[in-house]
Amino acid sequence: MTEKAMQLISTIGDWYVTENGTYIRVFGATKAPHLLPKLIPEKLAIQEVAYQTLLRGVGASLARDKKAPWPALPLYIGYYGLGNVKAAREEGEALASYHFGEERFRRHDPHSVTPLFNMQVHVALS
């Protein structure tokens, strides 16, 4: 992953490099992360964030209810970005078409980032 990608991902989740590849766990995501190549281009990293959060997850719920999406948009890594919810959904759907394998799902938010965000936008999620 590039330095720019690592900086963005560290604010909204964590990434792990294994012998089989790399995966990104976004705080509050309700979808299992994809097992990506060990070297992730910036566009692929931004697509994974969109897939986990704005197609399925806290961000999708917030977008449906016309609240602020999680993670807050716009998000950019270098030249690639998610400017709005529609663009994020398109990027997430594009990633789904690549047919990467998935890691095992588990909730991941060790720093309670999503509850703090929900309080900031005045949303109570159960």
pLDDT tens for 86-109 read 888 888 889 888 888 887 776 666
Query: Is residue 84 over pLDDT 70?
Result: yes
pLDDT of residue 113: 67
CB–CB of 33/47 below 8 Å? no
Domain-embedded: residue 125: no
**Residues linked to residue 102 through DSSP beta bridges, in sequence order:** 34
Ranges 1-5, 8-12, 122-126: which has the least confidence: 122-126
Q: How far apart are CA 39 and CA 66, in angstroms?
A: 35
Q: Region 42-58: what's the mean pLDDT? A: 84
Query: Is residue 123 over pLDDT 60?
Result: no
pLDDT of residue 78: 87
Between strands 13-17 and 22-26, the pairing is antiparallel
pLDDT of residue 107: 65
DSSP alpha helix (H) spans, 51-101: 58-64, 85-96
Q: How far apart are CA 88 and CA 45, in angstroms?
A: 12
Backbone angles phi, psi at 89, to 5 degrees: -65, -40
| Residue 18 Cα distances to 10, 37, 51, 104, 116, angstroms | 17, 10, 21, 13, 30
Domains: count for the chain: 1
Domain-embedded: residue 126: no
Which residue range(s) make up the domain with 47?
3-120
Q: How far apart are CA 56 and CA 68, in angstroms?
A: 15
Domain-embedded: residue 44: yes
Ranges 7-11, 41-45, 68-72, 115-119: which has the least confidence: 115-119
CA angle, residues 19, 22, 24, in degrees to nearest 5: 145
pLDDT of residue 41: 93
